Amino acid sequence: MTHPSIERFKDITDRNVLALQEAKQAGKKVVGQYCIYSPLEIALAAGAVPVSLCGTKNDSIPAAESMLPRSLCPLIKSSFGFALEDSCPYLAASDIVIADTTCDGKKKMFELLAERKPMFILQLPQIQNESALRYWKEQYERLVRELEQRFHVSIGEAELRSAIRTANRFRRALKSVLDLAKRKPSPLSGMQLMEIAHRASFVPDWDKASELLEDIAREVGADNESPFAESAPRILLTGVPIGLGSHKVVQLLEECGASVVCLDNCSCYKKVRLMIDENADPLEALASRYLDTPCAVMSPNPNRYAVLEELAREFQIDAVVDLTWQGCQTYDVESWSVKRFVRETLHLPFLQVVTDYSPADTEQLKVRMEAFLEMLR
């Protein structure tokens, strides 16, 4: 099913690298970011371009394994492999990389990456309470000072409020696209939802990205067609981040007859779940919103279960699939608790899938998914 707004979006985002290079030539600074705990608003307030960095392709992993353990999660290896091969144009364009200490593997990888690229490390607290919030706000204050000194700019309340408005518009626009899948049947496939969210994170012009997403939401929202039968099992995919190149589980689920209607991960729905208060103290509001992210690195992580319950209800979910990258201990351990919650509280079927970026286990996964979906039918 072809939608002109989506084709226009793809055409424009195919030129993301060129647009970033043009922004650099015009004097813009570029801030690379690996995780959604890193606040894009502070980079925007500094007059810079915040961009996501590459880390979803299998091709770069062999290079990383020359330095990193083979048993490490593929996301970390892929990200570091791009740096070793100098094959990520977004990383190459970055004047500084902001990274946060989510898991141990990333923390140690960032130490190695710092030998190749200017880095600013946000020391992420791994509990969500008042003392953690105060500490996290201090980390953002450090980041403001760093970008002011590095880029010779002043980041005040007015700049931060303007950046928050820009980012909130982007979140609302992306959420309006992702929320289209609440319809039954969904007008968009999980693959389309994933690709749109992935491409949008690399657009250098955030207002342009919002405009493109708003166009998609309007056009697709007015269309009553769907690529799925109404009887297709509606799947909520939770767990680790995915993107183009690490999308095989979404693709296989839909090839087996499911409709992946919600992607509860930091590459999709976690980005847009909460807006930032545009009237509150800017740094306080930013710290509060980002620290609230329900990642498995948080201990305890009650927000994840509250969000799962909310999304399962709003998207009329038939089953939950929990995706875990091999070597990701935080999500792998937490999956047992997620399974218990989904089965005992939500009363829904649950499947954990542990895999990596390689296509080697595709047939094995397909057999498991077909059996799981057959049980749902």
Q: What is the pLDDT of residues 217-234, one digit of tens each?
A: 999 999 989 999 999 999
CATH number, domain of 93, equals 3.40.50.11890
Domain count, the chain: 1
321 strand-pairing partners:
237, 351
Rounded to the nearest 5 degrees, what angle is found at the Cα of 60, between the Cα atoms of 33 and 22?
50
| 342 pLDDT higher than 80 | yes
**Computed over its alpha carbons, how large is the radius of gyration of the chain?**
20
Q: What is the pLDDT of residue 224?
A: 87
Q: How many CB atoms lie within 10 A of CB 332?
A: 19
Q: 46 lies in which domain range?
A: 19-158
Q: Is residue 314 part of a domain?
A: no
Sheet containing 319-325, strands listed edge to edge, beginning at the edge strand earlier in sequence: 259-264, 234-239, 319-325, 350-355
Residue-wise pLDDT tens digits, 278-335: 999 999 999 999 999 999 999 999 999 999 999 999 999 999 999 999 999 999 999 9
Q: Is residue 278 part of a domain?
A: no
185 in Cβ contact with 232 (< 8 Å) = yes
Tell me what the mean pLDDT of segment 14-33 comes to. 97
Q: Is residue 73 part of a domain?
A: yes
What's the CA gap between 252 and 124, in Å, rounded?
34
321: helix, strand or coil:
strand
Q: Is residue 218 part of a domain?
A: no
What's the CA gap between 369 and 351, in Å, rounded?
9
| 128 pLDDT higher than 80 | yes
151 in Cβ contact with 31 (< 8 Å) = no
Averaged pLDDT of the chain: 97
Tell me 117's DSSP state.
Answer: S
Q: What is the pLDDT of residue 1?
A: 63
Q: Is the N-terminal amide bond of 118 cis, ω within 30° of 0?
A: no
Q: Is residue 68 part of a domain?
A: yes
Tell me what the mean pLDDT of segment 234-250 comes to. 97
Tell me what the mean pLDDT of segment 20-24 comes to. 96
Q: Is residue 151 part of a domain?
A: yes
Q: Is residue 30 part of a domain?
A: yes
Q: Is residue 146 part of a domain?
A: yes
What are the backbone angles phi and psi of residue 212, rounded to the nearest 5°?
Answer: -65, -40
Q: What own/partner pairs with CB < 8 Å and gap ≥ 24 does 310-315 have? A: 311/236, 311/262, 311/264, 311/269, 312/236, 312/346, 312/348, 314/182, 315/181, 315/182, 315/234, 315/236, 315/261, 315/262
Q: pTM here?
A: 0.96
